[in-house]
């Protein structure tokens, strides 16, 4: 068997829907492992993607040269014999591709619905515009953490984020008047069932509560409303983080007066579930999945016939520890810490969400840094990563039990699913329970726009928030 070594490839890409999946999918088709992956947005609607690949060295250059001719790939750079080699697409091809990517400057076609989707995160705001299912553009604005720290609460960031969206929109040539709907990410409002909801006054009021402002998604509905209302446009949220479909047997916590609730990555879990079900050739409502969304936070859900009947709530302290959350921890020592006089209420909450997990153990929440530490021989970092994977696998096992042991697929998704170390460690423990499908990353802008499109096309009935 040919030996493998770590090769580095730097891709310059046009920002088009599906290009990341195309690149990573082709690499895995070669039987290679992706060890590290980092990306950054550049000017002129392009991005830079740097991937460390465990690959056979014999045909690596040939494969990279072939990939340089893919649609949306501008160039691929590798190191060969100590020298940088760049495979560049012909300028005319790139120019034509850029023109195609910039087609949103052309008038909207008859019968097409143009939808803006907005997804605020803790330190970034993602947004994009779709004509039906065709992505015109997606953009991620990263906010300086020191600047965000100047705001006394999350909601005060709303004006800054809305201004960033509208300023960028001006550069695209897209007129707000061409939009048919605006969709925002749903935040910590009242628990509701899965679906598309019209943004109304009751929802906006609940988005301004102290509980809602625990999470940046509370701004999604508010910003969407402020853009859509003056234009008289429909405005929606889709599968907010409080989608609540848990069965009565799952709700008792063990302490009367405290009921298990769920705050989880409903939007991505539901979107991935529907995509994978389609690949299996059957509706989501006929499937039984365990889905683990793994990112800065982790949520693991038991999906039975279109409903999430149980799920770990990472915000409230359930599930595995993650890059920045503590997960399930022994209760008695926490009680002692709370009454020790050494910590404020805010400091204790920060230990649970923000400064817990990998951040607490290793001082970083960046798993690329952690894998670098492991590659440099740091045994403690290796133990922390293995323990996080172990706890994730254990929670997956619990959700298999919730589904009575009958599971079509176990699906690993979210940003951490790009790590072969993490997914490999999880697979080792759970792949006898059900086949494991890795669907790395998330496409929440696509999922938001898709929900709005289904309503506009009459394929799904919009729900009322009360």
Q: What is the CATH number of the domain that holds 77?
A: 3.30.70.260
Structure-block tokens of residue 31: 């039987």
How high is the pLDDT of residue 31?
A: 74
* 301 falls within a domain: yes
**pTM for the whole thing?**
0.75
In a domain, 84, yes or no: yes
C-beta neighbour count of 32 within 10 angstroms: 19
Q: Which residue has the higher pLDDT, 60 or 16?
A: 60
What SS3 string covers the chain? CCCEEEEEEEEEEECCCCHHHHHHHHHHHCCCEEEEEEEEECCCCEEEEEEEEEEECCCHHHHHHHHCCCCCEEEEEEEECCEEEEEECCHHHHHHHHHHHHHHHCCCCCCCCEEEEEEECCCEEEEEEEECCEEEEEEEEECCHHHHCCCCCHHHHHHHHHHHHHHHHHHHCCCHHHCCEEEEECCCCCCECCCEEECCHHHHHHHCCCCHHHCCCHHHHHHHHHHHHHHCCCEEEECCCCECCCCHHHCECCCCCCECCCCCCHHHHHHHHHHHHHHHCCCHHHCEEEEEEECCCEEEEEEECCEEEEECCCCCCCCCCCCCECCCCCHHHHHHHHCCCCCCHHHHHHHHECCCHHHHHHCCCCHHHHHHHHHCCCHHHHHHHHHHHHHHHHHHHHHHHHCCCCCCEEEEEEHHHHCHHHHHHHHHHHCCCCCEEEEEECCHHHHHHHHHHHHHCCCCCCECCC
Per-residue confidence (pLDDT) for residue 56, from 0 to 100: 64
pLDDT in tens, 326-378: 999 999 999 999 999 999 999 999 999 889 999 999 999 888 889 999 999 99
- pLDDT over 70 (residue 453): yes
Asked whether the predicted pLDDT for residue 107 surpasses 80, the reply is: no
- Do 410 and 433 contact (CB within 8 A), yes or no? yes
Whether residues 116 and 144 share a domain: the answer is yes
Domain match, 128 and 230 both: yes
Residues 212-232, mean pLDDT to the nearest whole number: 92
Provide the pLDDT confidence category of residue 18 given band limits of 50, 70 and 90: low
Give the percent of the chain with pLDDT over 70.
Answer: 94
164-178: pLDDT as tens digits: 899 888 878 888 999
- Whether 163 is covered by a domain: the verdict is yes
Mean pLDDT over the full length of the chain: 89
Determine the structural domain holding residue 332 and report its residue range: 266-441
Residues 184 and 128 in one domain: yes
- What is the per-residue burial (b if ≥16 Cβ within 10 Å, else e) of 177-199? eebbbbbbbbbbbeebebbbbeb
Identify the domain boundary among 91, 118, 136.
91
* 23, 27, 29, 35: CA torsion to nearest 10: -130
> Which of 67, 91, 115 is the last residue in one of the domains?
91
- How far is Cα 240 from Cα 292, in angstroms, rounded to an integer? 17
State the CATH number of the domain containing residue 270. 3.30.420.40
Q: Per-residue pLDDT for 126 more than 80? A: yes
Q: What is the pLDDT of residue 149?
A: 79
Residue 461 maps to a domain: no
**What pLDDT shows up at residue 1?**
43
Asked if residue 272 and residue 228 are part of one domain, the reply reads no
Q: Are residues 138 and 20 in the same domain?
A: no
| Gyration radius from the chain CA atoms | 23
201 and 273, same domain (yes or no): no
74 within some domain: yes
Residues 310 and 394 in one domain: yes
> Does position 90 have pLDDT exceeding 80, yes or no?
no
What pLDDT does residue 100 have? 47
| Same-domain pairing of 129 and 40 | no
- Domain membership of residue 365 (yes or no) is yes
Number of domains in the chain: 3
Which of 267, 304, 199 lies closest to 449, judged by CA? 267
Max mean pLDDT among 44-48, 143-147, 437-441 falls in 437-441
Spacing of C-alpha 409 from chain mean position: 20
> Per-residue pLDDT averaged across 59-70, rounded?
85
Q: Is residue 255 part of a domain?
A: no
Q: Looking at residues 237-254, what average pLDDT do you find?
A: 94
Give residue 93's pLDDT. 60
Dist CA 221 CA 183 (whole Å): 7
More confident residue, 397 or 122: 397
Boundary residue ending a domain (91, 122, 153): 91
Q: Are 195 and 463 in contact (CB under 8 A)?
A: yes
User: Would you say 286 and 305 are in contact if contact means Cβ atoms under 8 Å apart?
Assistant: yes
Of the candidate ranges 55-64, 156-165, 190-199, 298-307, the one whose mean pLDDT is the lowest: 55-64
Based on the fold, state whether residues 370 and 450 are members of the same structural domain: no
CA–CA gap between residue 420 and residue 3 (Å, rounded): 18
The answer to whether position 99 is within a domain reads no
- 105 has a pLDDT exceeding 60: no
Specify whether 19 is located in the same domain as 133: no
- Mark whether 19 and 126 lie in a shared domain: no
Tell me: pLDDT of 238 over 90: yes
Query: Same domain for 287 and 223?
Result: no
Of 214-218, 308-312, 348-352, where does mean pLDDT reach its minimum? 214-218
CA proximity to 136, closest of 17, 14, 39: 17
By the 8 A CB rule, do 413 and 268 touch?
yes
Q: From CA 436, how far away is CA 392, in angstroms rounded?
A: 14
Q: Checking DSSP bridges between strand 134-142 and strand 196-198, what pairing results, if any?
A: unpaired
pLDDT tops 80 at residue 412 = yes
Mean pLDDT of 395-423: 95
Cα–Cα distance for residue pair 204/63, rounded to 1 Å: 51
For the residues 169-196, what does the mean pLDDT come to? 92
> Considering only CA atoms, which of 124, 137, 140, 126 is closest in space to residue 173?
137
Backbone angles phi, psi at 197, to 5 degrees: -120, 135
């Amino acid at each position: 068997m040919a030996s493998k070594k770590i090769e580095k490839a730097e891709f310059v890409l046009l920002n088009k829907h599906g290009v990341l999946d195309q690149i990573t999918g082709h690499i895995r088709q070669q039987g290679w492992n992706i060890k590290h992956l980092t990306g950054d947005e550049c000017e002129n609607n392009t991005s830079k993607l740097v991937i460390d690949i465990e690959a056979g060295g014999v045909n690596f250059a040939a494969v990279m040269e072939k990939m340089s001719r893919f649609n949306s790939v501008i160039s691929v750079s590798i190191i060969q014999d100590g020298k940088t080699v760049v495979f560049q697409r012909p300028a005319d091809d790139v120019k034509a591709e850029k023109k195609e990517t910039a087609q949103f400057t052309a008038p909207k076609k008859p019968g097409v619905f143009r939808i803006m989707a907005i997804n605020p995160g803790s330190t970034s705001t993602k947004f994009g515009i779709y004509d039906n299912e065709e992505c015109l553009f997606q953009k991620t604005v990263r906010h300086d953490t020191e600047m965000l720290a100047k705001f006394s609460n999350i909601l005060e960031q709303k004006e800054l984020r809305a201004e960033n969206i509208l300023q960028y929109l001006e550069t695209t040539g897209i007129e707000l008047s061409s939009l048919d709907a605006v969709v925002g990410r749903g935040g910590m409002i009242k628990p509701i069932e899965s679906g598309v909801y019209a943004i109304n006054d009751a929802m906006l009021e609940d988005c301004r509560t102290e509980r809602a402002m625990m999470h940046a998604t509370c701004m999604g509905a508010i910003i969407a409303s402020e853009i859509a209302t003056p234009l008289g446009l429909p405005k929606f949220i889709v599968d907010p983080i409080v989608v609540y479909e848990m069965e009565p047997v799952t709700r008792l916590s063990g302490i009367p007066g405290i009921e298990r609730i769920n705050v989880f990555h409903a939007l991505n879990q539901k979107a991935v579930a529907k995509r994978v079900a389609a690949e299996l050739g059957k509706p989501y409502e006929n499937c039984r999945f365990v889905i683990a969304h793994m990112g800065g936070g982790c949520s693991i859900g038991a999906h039975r016939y279109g409903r999430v009947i149980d799920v770990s709530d990472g915000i409230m302290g359930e599930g595995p520890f993650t890059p920045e959350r503590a997960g399930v921890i022994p209760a008695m020592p926490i009680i002692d810490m709370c009454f020790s006089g050494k910590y404020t209420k805010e400091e204790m909450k920060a230990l649970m969400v923000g400064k817990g997990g990998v951040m607490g153990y290793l001082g970083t929440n960046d798993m690329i840094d952690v894998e670098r530490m492991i590659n440099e021989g740091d045994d403690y970092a290796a133990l922390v990563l293995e323990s996080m994977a172990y706890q994730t696998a254990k929670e997956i096992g619990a959700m298999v039990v919730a589904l009575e042991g009958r599971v079509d697929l176990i699906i690993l998704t979210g940003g951490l699913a790009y790590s072969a170390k993490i997914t490999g460690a999880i697979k080792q423990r759970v792949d006898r329970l059900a086949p494991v499908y890795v669907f790395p990353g998330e496409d929440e802008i696509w999922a938001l726009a898709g929900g709005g499109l289904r309503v506009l096309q009459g394929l799904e009935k919009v729900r009322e928030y009360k």
